[in-house]
Amino acid sequence: MPLRFFNTYSRGIEQFEPHEPTARPIRMYTCGPTVYSRAHIGNFRAYIFEDLLQRHLELRGYKVHRVMNITDVEDKTIRGASEAGVPLQKFTEQFKEAFFEDARTLRIKRADEYPAATEQRYIDRMIDMISALISKGLAYQADDKSVYFRINKFPEYGKLAHFDLTQLQSTGRVKHDEYDKEHIGDFALWKAWDEADGDVKWDSPWGPGRPGWHIECSAMSTALLGDQIDIHCGGVDNIFPHHEAEIAQSEGVTGKKFVNYWLHCAHLLVDGQKMAKSLGNFYTVPDVLAKGYTGRELRYALLRVHYRVPLNFTWEGMNEARESLARIDEWLARLRQLVGTAQRADPTSHFEDALDDDLNISAALGFLFESIRETNRTMDQNEMDAAAASAWLDWWNRINTILDLEASVDVAIPDEVAQLAEQREEARREKNWKRSDELREQISALGWEVRDTKDGPKLTRATVSA
């Protein structure tokens, strides 16, 4: 089955063809974090979607060259540094580190490059691009000394977001608020320095100042991936104005189609509401870990819903993630017991086929759990031979290069828990049910659950109540 993706640009499902059908890697650009605070789980939902996309492309035999930028200078980072009374670099450094730590916790594959907007080579490139836009009449310096993109000179503006910007006329009131721009939709390419910027400034042909957020991505993406990109991703709230502006700037400079496939990830809701600090439903990765969940569980919870569908995050959903992973763990353990010297057989490729269809992870996981149910039944009836078990494990290893959900040391059974389980088994052999129940409770107090199966007791992480 050919790979198909929903392209925001056309608002339709399109068959995926890399820009040049050669062995060269797919050029993938993903808008990264703005490092003014710790990224929240909604941000990570988008990063996990991009991770899934990259891993699936790789499973399908493509090489991927992925760039994720770090926005370390814009309004919020400057305000944050000034409020904290520390230099910008020092202020953003802590959130960069936190971002990489959280990405590791969630097993997100590293991008090939993480350019930061404040690196001089990119600032230079931004200035070059802005100069080129001015010389083509696509940008102008206003009375406030800032440089703006002239959207009226770029007829394609609004095409990605499906906005008709001719409807947006400058009015007297707008002129009053935005006195320096020709059109309300004109966006800043270069922001002239003012006192609130403190010592955050770079020299430019237009005087001291700093780049606008949008030009940062145009400069870093074209610097590292060339004028034309195969896949550009982000969250839906990046579509307008950020990605619309990236197209205008990049195509304005190069005259070439900037991006072939635009893929956007839907919002994350918490308990059905938009996440907001004021609502007390704003969570970072450490907030979720502090509730007793693992990175693997959070990865699963953020991964399991199709990326174009809003994902409703709940603690119940986290418990379901835990239960789903326990089902996978037990299934793997059973298969591994059966495997001996075995020959290859091939279960199916339904999982990968579902992902070929615009990354349909819900269907893919549905197929995984259906397979788990069926193979468990076969094992219950002692009808699974070593060859079949081995084939299923091979299949799992293959799809796990995408999912990356296998248990690791973070769910190793602690000695204390193992000993209590051992004592409980002894109590059960002696038919001392009271003692056995007491021990079960002690195990549960340590965050573990013991279940008696026909293969003996099985320990899993207990479900945490919110």
Which residue ranges make up the site for Zn ion (CB under 5 A)? 31, 217
**258: its two tokens:** 């900037």
Provide the minimum distance between the beta carbon of 132 and Zn ion in the complex, in angstroms, as a whole number: 19
Cβ proximity to Zn ion, 81 vs 215, nearer residue: 215
From the centroid of its chain, how far is CA 168? 33
Phi-psi region of 349 (alpha: psi -120 to 50; beta: other; left: phi over 0): alpha
Provide the minimum distance between the beta carbon of 377 and Zn ion in the complex, in angstroms, as a whole number: 48
Cβ proximity to Zn ion, 31 vs 402, nearer residue: 31
Dihedral angle, C-alpha 261, 153, 187, 170, nearest 10 °: -130
Provide the minimum distance between the beta carbon of 53 and Zn ion in the complex, in angstroms, as a whole number: 16
Provide the minimum distance between the beta carbon of 32 and Zn ion in the complex, in angstroms, as a whole number: 7
Give, as one character, the DSSP assignment of residue 39.
P
Cβ proximity to Zn ion, 34 vs 294, nearer residue: 34
Cβ proximity to Zn ion, 42 vs 295, nearer residue: 42
Provide the minimum distance between the beta carbon of 241 and Zn ion in the complex, in angstroms, as a whole number: 11
Cβ proximity to Zn ion, 220 vs 403, nearer residue: 220
Provide the minimum distance between the beta carbon of 123 and Zn ion in the complex, in angstroms, as a whole number: 16
Provide the minimum distance between the beta carbon of 29 and Zn ion in the complex, in angstroms, as a whole number: 8
Instruction: Please answer whether residues 181 and 144 qualify as being in contact, where contact means their C-beta atoms are separated by less than 8 angstroms.
Output: no
Task: Lay out the sheet containing 26-30: strands in order across.
Answer: 64-68, 26-30, 229-235, 259-265
Angle formed at CA 234 by CA 231 and CA 237, multiple of 5 degrees: 140
Cβ proximity to Zn ion, 217 vs 372, nearer residue: 217
Handedness of CA 393, 394, 396, 397 (dihedral sign): positive
**138: its two tokens:** 């696509």
Helix (H) or strand (E) holding 216: helix 213-225
Provide the minimum distance between the beta carbon of 317 and Zn ion in the complex, in angstroms, as a whole number: 29
Query: Could you please report the per-residue DSSP string of 286-339?
Result: HHHHHTT--HHHHHHHHHSS-TTS-EEE-HHHHHHHHHHHHHHHHHHHHHHHH-
Give the residue from 234, 310, 233, 308 showing the smallest Cα distance to 267: 310
Provide the minimum distance between the beta carbon of 214 and Zn ion in the complex, in angstroms, as a whole number: 7
| Dist CA 161 CA 136 (whole Å) | 24
Cβ proximity to Zn ion, 262 vs 367, nearer residue: 262
Q: How many CA atoms lie within 13 A of 15 on its CB side?
A: 3
3-state class (DSSP) for residue 284: strand
Cβ proximity to Zn ion, 48 vs 217, nearer residue: 217
Cβ proximity to Zn ion, 247 vs 288, nearer residue: 247
